[in-house]
Amino acid sequence: METETNRVEAFSDGVFAIVITILVLELKVPEEQGSALWHGLLEQWPHYAAYLVSFLIIGVMWVNHHTIFSHLKRVDRPLLFLNLMVLMVVSVIPYTTNILAEHLMDGDSANVAAILYSSWTVVYALAFLGFWWYVTKVGHLFHETVDKDGARATRVRFGLGAVAYPLTVILSFFSAPLTLVAHFLIALYYAANQIPIPLVVEEERLETGSDLRK
């Protein structure tokens, strides 16, 4: 059975919003007293850095999720579960973030933590690709305005775009802090650059054709 997208979007928005917000629960109050509190706060910089990067990563994920769903008219049961898989992967990010923040400057364990963090972005990219692969394969879930063949053609570019994530896994063997910087830059890149989903109709028709959109 196919249903409209609004409740899946609401549920997904809820999960994204909670995941991105509970990141802050890992920031703990330093116990230092007096002006040593400054020092205690500064020592937490790996937590701040990891918070910033993961917030940006989850934010970009949400924007992409939002963009894809704005092109969908209906959802079917397989899509509900592919979406659930994406959400499960996203939900684990506060955990990998926390591990990386705890161990960022701790020699060997820093590399272990970075490998885990980076590998999880690969898992996310795969879950998202699976989602997009299914949507473009079945086609009939799109709005009428979407160029289905064009959308299908973006799959290769989506896949190529995801190649940055395995590279961060390799980088993780060498430097955890540099890996975090790499993830920051990748997230910034994806924030600025988006693979457009081709439309068969012009933007203007979309503007007026409110009956085509939810």
Task: Name residue 142's beta-bridge partners.
Answer: 72
Amino acid at 101: A
Residue 159: HSE in the Cβ half-sphere, 13 Å Cα cutoff:
7
Stretch that binds a second copy, among 80-88, 121-129, 142-150, 151-159 (CB under 8 A): 80-88
List the one residue from 45, 70, 153, 157 that touches a second copy (CB under 8 A). Answer: 70
List the one residue from 84, 123, 162, 167 that touches a second copy (CB under 8 A). Answer: 84
Rg (the chain; Cα; Å): 20
Q: CA 180, CA 69: separation in Å to the nearest integer?
A: 29
Query: Does residue 24 belong to the site contacting a second copy (CB under 8 A)?
Result: yes
Stretch that binds a second copy, among 91-99, 117-125, 153-161, 162-170 (CB under 8 A): 91-99
Q: Is 196 exposed, middle or buried (0-12, 13-18, 19+ CB in 10 A)?
A: exposed
- Nearest distance, CB of residue 3 and a second copy, angstroms: 5
Query: Does residue 143 belong to the site contacting a second copy (CB under 8 A)?
Result: no
Query: Does residue 35 belong to the site contacting a second copy (CB under 8 A)?
Result: yes
Q: In residues, how long is the chain?
A: 214
Query: Does residue 163 belong to the site contacting a second copy (CB under 8 A)?
Result: no
Q: CA 166, CA 54: separation in Å to the nearest integer?
A: 17
Residues 123-142 that bind a second copy (CB under 8 A): none
Query: Does residue 87 belong to the site contacting a second copy (CB under 8 A)?
Result: yes
Helices 93-103 and 176-192 pack at an angle, to 10 degrees, of: 140
Q: Answer left, alpha or beta for residue 185, where phi above 0 means left and psi between -120 and 50 means alpha.
A: alpha
Query: Does residue 99 belong to the site contacting a second copy (CB under 8 A)?
Result: yes
- Asked whether 6 and 69 are in contact (CB, 8 A), the reply is no
Q: Which residues bind a second copy (CB under 8 A)?
A: 1, 3-4, 7-11, 13-25, 27, 29-30, 32-38, 41, 51-52, 55-56, 59, 62-63, 66-67, 69-70, 77, 80-81, 84, 87-88, 91-92, 94-95, 98-99, 102-103, 106-109, 112-113, 116, 191, 194, 196, 213
